[in-house]
Structure formats: C-alpha cells, structure tokens
Amino acid sequence: MRILLKFVIDCDADAAWRALHSPRAVAELYGPLLAVDALGTTPTLFESGDDVPVQMSVAGIVPVGRQLISVSDRDTRDGDGRVRVFRDWGVPLTGPLAVLDVWDHQMAVSAAPGDPARTLWRERLTIGGAAAPVLWPGLWAMWQWRAGRIRALAPTWAHDPEPAASPSSL
C-alpha cells in the first residue's frame, strides 16, 4: 500500500535537501504532535549508509514505538533536471507499526519546473503486511498533516535568509 505526496514548497532544492539530512529538521516535521528522539548519540546529519534508531512519543510524553531510520541517497534526472532522492528503508522496531513487513519511505526534491527558487517535493511511503490495510488510513492522515508541516517549515530552511530591512532603508 502506498501514500503519495507531490507539492511545491517555498525554498530552493538545496535547502530542502539539507533539511532532509538534518535530524532536527526531520523531527520538526512531526512536532509538536510527535517527538522523534535518537536513541544514543544524535548525528549532526543523516548520511547515506546511516542506521539511526529513534524513539517516537506523543508530545514527548507517551512512547509509541521505536524505529530504525536507514538512510540511502541517490541522484537521478527527469525531464526537468536533477532529482535527489532520500530513502529511509528502515523498519519500525516496536509499537503499532512494528507489525508491518514493509516500510519504504522515499522523498525526492528537485527545482520546481519554471521556478528554481522553489522545490518540487515528491514523497512515497510504501507499507506492507497483513496489518497494512488497517494502519494505512491513520498513516495517510498523518502524511497529510506532515505535508502541511513541510509547507509551513520550508521557508525556514533557507541557508542564507534575506536580511531584514534596516530602519534607514524604509
């Protein structure tokens, strides 16, 4: 079963790519509803080949399970140019999602067609197993909410934010 997202966000593709590799930015995607905390040392950046166990909890209080984030990156091209894909093919270790046999989460970023200052964000979550049909509606709802968080947070991902206007320039 799959959940697909596709939308344009207000930051360039380089900023979106950096955010995908930032454990802090990724955790912000779920907050304040869910807290995502590394078990052990929190890496500064996710890098291809990393396996990072995390604990998820509701509002940082009620544990809902542990998950292994397994990272791989790849570069490809489509008709509009470069596409960078961040793949988390880790697995839920404990909690309600641990009954899934398949967890494959891929996020692709590229310059928005016709507007290189914005990013085309594409995302695909594939889940499988006997419990997937039962868990899919809740995950679908969570991914819609998460898409809203991505849209809201994307402008904050700029590497070099525009300077504020000085009082003398007003």
Rounded-to-integer distance, Cα 54 and Cα 39, Å: 5
Please give the backbone phi and psi of residue 161, each rounded to the nearest 5 degrees, phi first.
Answer: -60, 150
Fold of 2-132+143-155: Alpha-D-Glucose-1,6-Bisphosphate; Chain A, domain 4 (3.30.530)
Rounded to 10 degrees, the C-alpha dihedral 46/42/150/109 comes to: 0
Q: What is the average pLDDT score of the chain?
A: 90
pLDDT average, residue stretch 51-62: 89
- What is the pLDDT confidence band of residue 163, given thresholds at 50, 70 and 90? low
Q: What is the pTM of this model?
A: 0.87
Is residue 128 pLDDT above 70, yes or no? yes
Query: Higher pLDDT residue, 159 or 37?
Result: 37
In the predicted structure, residue 127 carries a pLDDT above the cut 80? yes
Look at residue 59 and tell me whether its pLDDT is greater than 90: no
31: DSSP letter: T
Whether pLDDT at 167 is above 70: no
Three-state DSSP at 163 gives: coil
Residue 79: predicted pLDDT: 84
